[in-house]
Amino acid sequence: MGILIGFGLVATVFLTSALSGVFGMAGGLVLLWVLLLALPATAAMAVHGVIQFAANGSRAVMSRRYADWHILGFAISGLAGATLLLLVVDYTPDVRLVSIVVGLMPILVWIPAHWFTLDASRPPQAVVCGFIGGALTLTVGVAGPTVDVFFIRTQLDRRTVIATKAALQVISHGVKVAFYWRSASVLGMTEAGAIALSLPFAIAGTAAGHAILQRITDANFRRWVRWVVTVIGAIYLTRGLMLTFGG
């Protein structure tokens, strides 16, 4: 990894962390896409987990007073179930599958609310949210748009949504790092150094996004998050289809 690529990684981490600081998820989607271009899928998952753990961890600390720990407790039980299931089947990711699944996720945020009611503030649905979010985090690296469906239609304000999701994502990405850590052995000292250097920028980007979040309204938050994840999803889907049918 050259100096230019290392600088690009640091800049990407800062910008994507800022994006996640505002919307709670979109930055992780962009970061994973970049990592999948440079690394094997399993190694990209491990690296993505480390960086997202730092970014989400700082966001969770900054917004901890808004977090709903009742919801988080039920969601973690669902995450534990998904983790055990994937350990049993010994899952290994494939970049084509990852790209297509992530590309299709944004469809969920456009489904009319009256079609079905998902509400993370209800304990049974919080468990389902944790299970689905955990399964997707471990299989395709991210779960933001899917988890968001359980939160965006609650009566929680944007700060509680961001804080609670951040706390859940800290745990999810921590589990992902442990799940894929054996794959990090493909990284050299230069790559590992660049990743370590990027961690403070993940925290700085999160702080910048957190400051922006305080200045936007709940209505704008819900409106923009749909369009942001839809555009990112379209990019993922295009790449997945090209890899699948383009040889």
Query: pLDDT value at position 55?
Result: 81
Could you give the CA distance from residue 44 to residue 35 in angstroms, rounded to a whole number?
Answer: 5
Helix (H) or strand (E) holding 61: helix 41-62
* pLDDT tens digit sequence for 176-189: 988 887 665 656 66
More confident residue, 78 or 90: 78
Report the alpha-carbon angle 77-133-75, nearest 5: 25
Structural domain count of the chain: 1
Query: pLDDT value at position 1?
Result: 54
Asked if the model's pLDDT at residue 205 lies above 90, the reply is no
Query: pLDDT value at position 186?
Result: 56
Phi-psi region of 141 (alpha: psi -120 to 50; beta: other; left: phi over 0): left
* pLDDT tens digit sequence for 92-127: 888 898 899 888 887 877 777 677 778 888 999 999
**Which of 75-84, 150-159, 230-239 has the largest mean confidence?**
75-84
Rounded to two decimals, the pTM is 0.80
Could you give the CA distance from residue 38 to residue 55 in angstroms, rounded to a whole number?
Answer: 20
Per 3-state DSSP, the chain is made up of helix, strand and coil in percentages (nearest 5) of: 85, 0, 15
Could you give the CA distance from residue 74 to residue 66 in angstroms, rounded to a whole number?
Answer: 17
Asked if the model's pLDDT at residue 170 lies above 70, the reply is yes
Q: Which domain holds residue 112?
A: 3-245
For residues 56 and 173, the answer to whether their CB atoms sit within 8 Å is: yes
Asked if the model's pLDDT at residue 247 lies above 70, the reply is no
